[in-house]
């Protein structure tokens, strides 16, 4: 509803604060979402929607693809082109989709289990190919949907359904793995640092090539309960705030202060031929023969 002209003050000094309007991006009638109270996935989804809004992309320019798991429910709530696929196979579907419709901006929402265990093979090869897509790994160090089994990112000593006395496995570092496999944009954020997260997701979407963002967030229901965190707030403070350091701070900190901390921010960016562009070049060459 617009206001009558005389109501609008002529010399409004400061722009009034207004919250972000999520409704154009959320599928009508789909909320509340299925995530548990205090689950970080909702915070990540909101950062993602604000980042997409900043890109100026139209809703129909975006295809959101997921596999199976709590984080993989994301596409069900958003008003883009969406695909909810098989466990660990989101990247296989995303690859096919991008090849068939290169105009689409493909965003994959996946979890630590879905991306790095069940779909680990697809993950490294997607990074290697450098096809233009954004892979968001909602990393809560546990398989939430199936009741809290250890995942490839469960830290040593942490309790899960499958590590009742503490995990003895060394975890994967999503970012090192992505970088070693060839991803040309690698970053990390947390649900706690929502402004930073929104920014790195924006940068990841704008980057031409495979972008991976490792997003540390909390599963209070399983990881939190098993590991004696008192509340979702405590998880965000202990794991996301105290457990990470911005890349901008690294130079100012001693090795002791950096011990056991994960780095946040853009950790790697490089320029390498993008798969769809190379494929197009090849087709042009072959067809000219």
Partner 1 sequence: MAVAEKRIFRIEIDERLCKGCSLCVDFCPTNVLTMDGNMVAVKELDACNGCQLCDNRCPDFAIQVFEE
**Nearest residue (CB) to ligand SF4, 44 versus 204:** 44
| CA–CA distance, 232 with 225 (Å, rounded to integer) | 10
Alpha-carbon separation of residue 7 from 2, 11, 13, 14 (angstroms)? 10, 12, 15, 16
Altogether, the residues listed in the chain come to a count of 289
Task: Of 181, 90, 199, 200, give the one whose Cα is nearest residue 130.
Answer: 181
Q: From residue 62 to residue 101, what is the string marking binding to ligand SF4 with x (rule CB under 6 A)?
A: --------x-------------------------------
Q: From residue 189 to residue 228, what is the string marking binding to ligand SF4 with x (rule CB under 6 A)?
A: ------------------------------xxxx------
Stretch that binds partner 1, among 16-24, 52-60, 80-88, 261-269 (CB under 8 A): 16-24
**Nearest residue (CB) to partner 1, 30 versus 101:** 30
**Nearest residue (CB) to ligand SF4, 39 versus 205:** 39
| CA–CA distance, 255 with 170 (Å, rounded to integer) | 20
Query: According to the binding rule CB under 6 A, does residue 46 interact with ligand SF4?
Result: no
Query: According to the binding rule CB under 8 A, does residue 231 interact with partner 1?
Result: yes
Among 107, 232, 264, 269, binds partner 1 (CB under 8 A): 232
Residues 131/108, Cβ–Cβ less than 8 Å: no
Q: From residue 31 to residue 60, what is the string marking binding to partner 1 with x (rule CB under 8 A)?
A: xxx-xxxxxxxxx--x--------------
Map the footprint of ligand SF4 across residues 16-35, applying CB under 6 A. Answer: 35
**Nearest residue (CB) to ligand SF4, 123 versus 222:** 222
Among 1, 12, 18, 58, binds partner 1 (CB under 8 A): 18
Query: According to the binding rule CB under 8 A, does residue 199 interact with partner 1?
Result: no
Whole-number minimum distance, CB 19 to ligand SF4, in Å? 9
Interface residues with partner 1 (CB under 8 A) are 16-20, 22, 26, 31-33, 35-43, 46, 191-192, 194-195, 220, 231-233, 236
């Amino acid at each position: 509803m617009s206001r009558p002209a005389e109501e609008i003050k002529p010399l409004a000094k400061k722009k009034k604060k207004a919250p972000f309007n999520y409704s154009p991006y959320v599928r009508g009638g789909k909320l509340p979402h299925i995530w548990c109270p205090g689950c970080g996935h909702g915070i990540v989804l909101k950062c993602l929607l604000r980042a997409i809004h900043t890109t100026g992309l139209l809703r129909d320019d975006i295809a959101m693809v997921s596999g199976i798991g709590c984080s993989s429910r994301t596409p069900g709530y958003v008003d883009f082109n969406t695909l909810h696929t098989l466990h660990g196979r989101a990247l296989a579907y995303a690859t096919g989709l991008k090849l068939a419709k290169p105009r689409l901006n493909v965003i994959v929402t996946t979890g630590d289990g879905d991306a790095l265990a069940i779909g680990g093979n697809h993950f490294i090869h997607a990074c290697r190919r450098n096809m233009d897509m954004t892979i968001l790994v909602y990393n809560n160090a546990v398989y939430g949907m199936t009741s809290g089994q250890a995942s490839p990112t469960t830290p040593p000593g942490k309790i899960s359904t499958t590590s009742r006395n503490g995990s003895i496995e060394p975890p994967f570092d999503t970012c090192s793995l992505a970088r070693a496999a060839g991803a040309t944009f690698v970053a990390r954020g947390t649900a706690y640092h929502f402004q930073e997260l929104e920014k790195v997701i924006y940068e990841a979407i704008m980057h031409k090539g495979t972008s991976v963002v490792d997003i540390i967030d909390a599963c209070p229901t399983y990881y939190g309960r098993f590991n004696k965190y008192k509340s979702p707030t405590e998880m965000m403070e202990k794991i996301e705030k105290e457990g990470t350091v911005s890349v901008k701070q690294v130079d100012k900190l001693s090795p002791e202060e950096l011990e056991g901390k994960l780095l946040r921010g853009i950790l790697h960016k490089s320029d390498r031929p993008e798969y769809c562009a190379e494929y197009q070049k090849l087709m042009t060459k072959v067809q000219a023969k």
